[in-house]
């Protein structure tokens, strides 16, 4: 089977990298455009949700550990 030309071929690692840069808030326009062109939106959403939960639970753990 031939794949359509407009099918995106982004990896999960690329999605994690894009989400981490998004959390940091700094991203070059050329890198952003490249990510939009190659990453699948489902990967970005899934990684974003997981990373948000990890961040929140990490903060909760840190606060509970410090408060002791």
Q: 3-state DSSP call for residue 40?
A: coil
Question: Is residue 20 situated within a structural domain?
Answer: yes
E strand or H helix at 3: none
Say whether pLDDT at 6 is over 90: no
pLDDT in tens, 15-50: 999 999 988 888 888 988 998 899 999 999 999 999
Is residue 16, in this structure, part of any structural domain at all? Answer: yes
Phi-psi region of 4 (alpha: psi -120 to 50; beta: other; left: phi over 0): beta
Res 56: pLDDT? 98
Asked if residue 4 is part of any domain, the answer here is no
More confident residue, 28 or 8: 28
50-63: pLDDT as tens digits: 999 999 999 999 99
State the residue range of the domain holding 25. 12-67
């Amino acid at each position: 089977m031939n794949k359509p030309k407009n099918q995106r071929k982004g990896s999960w690692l690329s999605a994690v990298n894009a989400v981490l840069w998004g959390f940091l808030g700094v991203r070059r326009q050329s890198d952003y455009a490249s990510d939009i062109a190659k990453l699948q939106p489902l990967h970005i959403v899934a990684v974003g949700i997981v990373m948000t939960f990890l961040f929140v639970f990490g903060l909760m753990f840190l606060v509970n550990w410090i408060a002791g």
